[in-house]
Structures are given as structure tokens and as C-alpha cells.
Amino acid sequence: MKYAFKIAYFGENFFGSQYQPDLRTVEGEIRRAFQELGINSKPRFAGRTDAGVSALGQVIAFESEKEIRPRILNSVLPSDITAWAYKEVPESFNPRKAKSRVYSYVFLNEDFDIERMERAVELLKGVHDFSNFTKKWKGGKREIFDAKLFSDGEFLIFEIEGNAFTWNMVRCIVTALKLVGSGKPLEWFEKMLDPSSFRERIPPSPPEGLMLKEVKYDFDFEVDEVGLKLLRMRIEKRLKHHGTIYKLLSLKLDALDSGKKQN
């Protein structure tokens, strides 16, 4: 039998998704879990994620002689990886051949001109050569089905859906959007989408803000309710932890500002 599983992971603890023998990776942990369950298969991923990048809807495919569900895999996975949906698929299924992928990137609103950034986001839609937004000059043509930017309190969330993405593409686009929001001409952003006449390298934004949100196929996954409940619990636990740290750091800054005024 061949399965496709949806998995979520917290990227800060991994040196990327792809297996590296001497480093902790998502694939490495899944391989170890497979060995413990007696599954003689290596997982194939819908796409690679770099060190620090998280996922909610990464998809892996693997073969197993015995029936397996996400809750079974979760019993031997570490707490920063959770399987939560599944589908029995044909032997020919390749997780990389998806209809589309959706990424989300979260970053602090540093007094950006959001209206200008939204205009830049609209320019992304359609077919473009994104070679200026990746580490390789060739093979950057991709189709973007949808892209949007919206505010959420102190943060901005950029969401983009496309047929495929090049290495660091989303993080480099976010860098470009920040530059436009800080005063870089919108015409520069337009030129960045035409590398045949204009070339410029820009650094990618930090990986911690990026999440592979969803990978879409011509079928629906079946949710494992036990796996989903476990994932929600793990997310809520981390939210409380990081929320406490965020508030503590804010208090430190307030105390420093208060001390300056007293002096």
C-alpha cells in the first residue's frame, strides 16, 4: 500500500526537511520513526523546506505493507513533527506533482507603506520569471495563482499560491515587498519581474517567518481526528510559550525606556 500523509512541523529545531546524516532534519526523524514501526520505505516530500522554515501541510508519500494511520506514526515521532491527515494513493503517486502550493510569511509591520506593498503584490499574479528572486539565474519561470497581503495587529501576513517555487523565492519576494514598503519605487519591483532586461540580487528574509501552509492535489485528504487534536494541543502550547517570551521582551524594552526618562 502507498500512503500520502499531511505533516506539520516547527522549523526552528531542524536543519531543513531534507535528510542530512549528521544533522537533525525532518526527513531524518521520519526515517527513524519508520524504522521503529518496521516500515521499509523512505518518505518522499512534496517540496523541500530550509532550516528554520515551518510547515502545516507538508505532504510525504511512502509505502507500507501494513495499514498505518497518522496517530500510529505520531506515537513514535518527536513532538515537533505531527501527522494529521492521510490518503491511500496509487503506486504512481508523486507528491511533487501537486496542483499548487501555498506559503504564508509573517513579519512585523515596521511602519511600512502597506498600500504600496499591496500594489506590488498584485504584480506577482500570473506567469513571470522569478530569477531575480532566487539563487539561480536560470529556470525561474513560475505561475502565481493568487497573492495577498493583510494586517493582523502588529504583524503583516503575506500569502502566495503558485504551481511551484524556486529556492528562497518567497523569502526574497518578502524582502522586495519590505523595500517597496520602505520607499523603493514600485517601478523597481516591476523590473525585478523581468530579469531578461534587469538583474539584481536581494537577500532572502529570515526563514523563521515562513510556513508551507498547504499542498493541493486532485483529491482530498482524510483527517485523523486524534492527530488533529494532538497538533492543536502542540500549537497552543507553543503559542503560550512564545507569547510569554514576546511579552517579557516587551516589558524589558518598556523598562529601558522608563529608565532613560528617569535619568
Give the residue numbers of the binding site for substrate. 103
The residue type of 80 is D
Neighbours of 15 (CB within 10 A): 16
Residue whose C-alpha cell is 500510529 = 72
User: Can 218 be counted among the known catalytic residues?
Assistant: no
Q: Which of 170, 144, 141 is nearest to 157 (CA)?
A: 170
258: alpha, beta or left? (left if phi > 0; alpha if psi -120 to 50): alpha
From 22, 50, 113, 220, active-site residue = 50
Looking at residue 92, what DSSP letter applies?
Answer: T
Taken in order 84, 88, 91, 97, the sign of the CA dihedral is negative
Q: Which of 172, 184, 182, 189 is nearest to 112 (CA)?
A: 182
- Contact at 8 Å (CB) between 47 and 213? no
Q: 3-class DSSP state for residue 6?
A: strand
Instruction: State the cell numbers at 127.
Output: 506567469
Instruction: State the cell numbers at 47.
Output: 517540496
Q: Which residues are known to be catalytic?
A: 50
